Structure 1
Amino acid sequence: MQNHASRAATFLKDDARTDWHNNTLWHVRSKRDKLVHGIPEWESIRQLGSDIKDNVLSNLDTYLEQFVAKAEANGVIVHWAVDAKEHNEIVHGILARHKVDKIVKSKSMLTEECHLNEHLEKHGIEVVDTDLGERIIQLKKEPPSHIVMPAIHLKKEEIGELFHEHLGTEKGASDPQYLTEAARGHLREKFLSAKAAITGVNFAVAETGGVVVCTNEGNADMGVHLAPVQIHCMGIEKVIPRAEHLAVFTRLLGRSATGQPITIYTSHHHRPKVGGEMHIVLVDNGRTKQLGREDFRNSLKCIRCGACMNTCPIYRRSGGHSYDHTIPGPIGSILSPGKDLKKNKDLPFASTLCGSCSDVCPVKIDIHEQLYKWRQIVSEEGHLENVKSIPLAGAGAVLSRGGLYNFMGKAARTALKIAPRALIYNQFNAWGQSRELPEVPKNSFKEWYAKNRKDA
């Protein structure tokens, strides 16, 4: 099984793509900085958003019950799903009852998490992702590499080739305007013929029983307004107490995600259209388990803006697919170990622990601290690979004994000076496979300090 480092090495083979990916995401981070620096109360808004989420997590059962009662009073059919399997079965059951054979779906990381597309396609239902980025990767048969910009790893020339193959666009065409118009025409027919529409949910308001869906393309609205059956799939942590709190999160979301004041479409859905049905599927899928982990419950505050990915030096240079998880980047690296520690044991180490992810998080999740805590758990539960556990055990023995530390330091400095290069740069020196070791000092810092302190 490949780990993050080996998958990242594959991405890094294309130097031009790596540099472009890195620079593009940093540009988005820079747009975010420019906007938030013009808001004197930005840190207060972040704190308020974090406090509201704290309140939600401490009273999640109460708010969910209130939300369900209000939604059902509005004529909405609410379903509860304990895991991904039950979520998929519920959605398929709704579609089967209405004899739906084709649906349109807007961006939803929850349905990606549950692998809904594959489940429905196995039952003969055509699923069309209508977000442009999602449609691109669906045609390419890839998972999203970013939660807000799912096709950010692809260049316009590659998309042009893909559209030529699947949509019949001109060969060699790569003009974004032309490709976008072709996608629009392609998707318009899908919207008109679909019998049901599925969306994700950004926020669910306990006070009103309504759900809020934020997009920049209007595709979620198009699907919901045209199809007689609408299904909104949401994680249970998406609920917020009151409608007035939306002002806090809509200010935080757009700026943090793409550096814009607000998403272009912020749509509220409270009840089914005349002659139609509205369903909401509330999904746990490990969320209550994460809620019970005191050190990691804050991860459930996430509003899926992707700001931590845009700033992370590891994500920017390794690409989203290197994480092999629905949610990549720093936030994914603290969520995934809670789902399967053995499988995702390497992800907490895919970080420099620089803290930039925590600095930009709009709801102040302590991401880098949780990464460090997961590293400790990985070690304590015996999931460290031998290439890490054996050197760490040796380092622990040396660092705990002053005399041995001094001797080993001197021995290492001598060996590095006289040993042949082939002996130092070998398969066991992972650092040296792509870097030069620093110049060997003449003496240790302790020796230098002792001498200079005397001279002073």
Structure 2
Amino acid sequence: MNAKTSSTATLNERAQTALNDNFLRNAVKFTTERLRTNKVSATDELGNWEEWREQGRQIRLHTIAHLDYYLSLFVNNVRALGGHVHFASDAKEAIEITMNIVKEKHTRSVVKSKSMLSEEVHINQVFEQHGIEVVETDLGEYIIQLAGETPSHIIIPAIHKNKEQVAELFSNVAGKRLPADTAVLAGFARSKLREKFLEADIGMTGCNFAIAETGSIALFSNEGNARMVSTVPKTQITFMGMERIIPSLEDLEVMATLLPRAATGQKLTVYMSLINGPRRSDDSDGPEELHVVIIDNGRSKQLGDPEFQEVLNCIRCGACLNACPVYRHVGGHAYGWVYSGPIGAVLTPLLHEDKELANASSLCGACYEACPVKIPLHDMFVYQRRRNVEEALTKKAEQLGMKAFKFISSNHRLFHRILRISQLGQKPFVKGGVITAKIGPLKGWNTYRYAPKLAQHSFRDTWKALDTELQFELQEMGPEMKDRLADILKKRGDTHESQ
């Protein structure tokens, strides 16, 4: 695991590593801007985007509010189709269930389509520890698997890699030097992965959406690999987050309209597959066995929480990452876990206990505006910061600083005196109208920008001067002007009496 992905480093250390990586920053900026532009074009062409967003939000709100009912309906329908359903309360149980299936099938190799949940439970590392070959078949996931890294983006895992870096990784696998040519590299990956599809004993997939009324599993992909993973191997294991459910196929139509447009600006993903149980006698392909592992891993703790339950509405489109000014500067590895961007900064403290990520936001609200199901992530950052304060998780210096501010600001005379002292005390540090010194709490801020100086006259002083001037002008007015002023104020409905 490299420095970028190390979860032992602090948020500031990870961010600093990313900020010093010019290629990373340029690559992330270029790709996220392109995705945002594509999204705007696709949503404008669709029309009534806000109505679609609200419809998506209502579907997710309804589903999560009745999650027990829809999960029960889905499970019954999967079993009626001949599938097996397992429940895992946490990552440990998910691994145990999976390994039992793997051992029963005497598995030597596993192929996987893209699944953030499998990253969450670190199933690949477990396979490797047991001598089982595991291969990611999504091109981006395959690249970062070879690099020994975690995804840098929910939709585009290898957003931080260029052709030269990919060529080096693929050359190590090929045993010969491959050119940094996109067509050549894609061709190599295609031929290599085809071998793995044919050899694999088990195929593993994630789950974009589970349809309760039919027991179906919906997979969205642009490369066709998910379809290969779910049809060629004899056994299929699907990892499903307990919240990844929707009531009906009609609701899937809404989600299939929202997700690709929000994620990449596509009208529809290239491949959308519906899996309805294992292969039947008249089917030409498909697995002989289907195992669906429904995983909690901390999700149920958000049910009934008025501040965080809506985070379960997420459809994993990545739109909030593309809109977030923090993500666009530091990329995904600075977040330290599987999920990055605004959704990661909210989910990670809830599922993984990394509470400092609540500070990885400017609270600008761009994530809410981008979200196709209108999750108020910017509000959730505030809720988490408040909880951090209540649990005394903030730095001691910050706690003391806020107590001092409370004491000073609650006494207007003391506040005014401190303000005057500060206006005088800042003079040695002011250059060109700004404070450039990198000292104390200004050290981090002034590394990348300058702090504005305190105004020579405070608002209180300015208001007092204006009030004095107004009183003087009123005294100089004649009776006629005062009467006219009174009439004007009366017509405006002003309750204040004229002088």
TM superposition score normalised by structure 2: 0.87
Please identify, of 118-127 and 425-434, the stretch whose mean Cα deviation from structure 2 is larger. 425-434
Q: Tell me which residue corresponds to 1:41.
A: 48
State the shift of 1:20 in Å.
3.2
Residue 250 (str. 1) matches residue 256 (str. 2): yes
Residue 76 (str. 1) matches residue 83 (str. 2): yes
Alignment of 1:309-328 (within 5 A): 309-328=321-340
> Highest Rg: 1 or 2?
2
State the shift of 1:444 in Å.
1.6
Please identify, of 131-140 and 235-244, the stretch whose mean Cα deviation from structure 2 is larger. 235-244
Q: Tell me which residue corresponds to 1:202.
A: 208
Structure 1 pair 419–170 and aligned structure 2 pair: CA distance change class (3 A): closer
Give yes or no for contact 1:345–1:384 (8 Å, CA) kept in 2: no
Q: Secondary structure at the match of 2:237?
A: strand
Q: Aligned match of 2:174 in 146, 154, 167?
A: 167
Q: Tell me which residue corresponds to 2:447.
A: 433
For 1:390 and 1:186, the matched residues in 2 are separated by 59
For 1:78 and 1:120, the matched residues in 2 are separated by 21
State the shift of 1:221 in Å.
0.6
Q: Tell me which residue corresponds to 2:458.
A: 444
Identity of aligned residues (%): 40
For 1:184 and 1:353, the matched residues in 2 are separated by 42
Q: For residue 461 of structure 2, what is the amino acid of its counterpart? A: E
Please identify, of 308-317 and 427-436, the stretch whose mean Cα deviation from structure 2 is larger. 427-436
- 1:59-106: CA deviation from partner (whole Å, max 9, x where unpaired): 111111111111111111111111111111111111111111100000
Give yes or no for contact 1:63–1:241 (8 Å, CA) kept in 2: yes
Q: Aligned match of 1:345 in 340, 344, 355?
A: 355
Residue 288 (str. 1) matches residue 300 (str. 2): yes
Residue 13 (str. 1) matches residue 20 (str. 2): yes
TM superposition score normalised by structure 1: 0.95
For 2:154 and 2:71, the matched residues in 1 are separated by 25
- 1:43-67: CA deviation from partner (whole Å, max 9, x where unpaired): 1111111111111111111111111
Please identify, of 285-294 and 374-383, the stretch whose mean Cα deviation from structure 2 is larger. 285-294
Give yes or no for contact 2:426–2:453 (8 Å, CA) kept in 1: no
Q: Secondary structure at the match of 1:392?
A: helix
For 1:423 and 1:361, the matched residues in 2 are separated by 37
For 1:226 and 1:297, the matched residues in 2 are separated by 38
Residue 67 (str. 1) matches residue 77 (str. 2): no
Please identify, of 10-19 and 112-121, the stretch whose mean Cα deviation from structure 2 is larger. 10-19
- 1:318-356: CA deviation from partner (whole Å, max 9, x where unpaired): 111111121111011111222244xx1211111010001
For 2:142 and 2:361, the matched residues in 1 are separated by 30
State the shift of 1:315 in Å.
0.7
- Unpaired runs of 5+ in structure 2? 1-7, 281-286, 471-499
Q: For residue 189 of structure 1, what is the amino acid of its counterpart? A: E
RMSD between superposed Cα atoms in Å = 1.8
State the shift of 1:445 in Å.
2.5
- 1:210-230: CA deviation from partner (whole Å, max 9, x where unpaired): 111111111011122111111
Give yes or no for contact 2:95–2:123 (8 Å, CA) kept in 1: yes
State the shift of 1:292 in Å.
3.0
Give yes or no for contact 2:117–2:206 (8 Å, CA) kept in 1: yes
Alignment of 1:147-162 (within 5 A): 147-162=154-169
- Unpaired runs of 5+ in structure 1? none
Residue 231 (str. 1) matches residue 231 (str. 2): no
Q: Secondary structure at the match of 2:110?
A: strand
Q: Secondary structure at the match of 1:226?
A: coil
Q: For residue 211 of structure 1, what is the amino acid of its counterpart? A: I
For 2:465 and 2:41, the matched residues in 1 are separated by 49
For 2:375 and 2:463, the matched residues in 1 are separated by 40
Please identify, of 239-248 and 424-433, the stretch whose mean Cα deviation from structure 2 is larger. 424-433
Q: Tell me which residue corresponds to 1:99.
A: 106
Structure 1 pair 146–401 and aligned structure 2 pair: CA distance change class (3 A): same
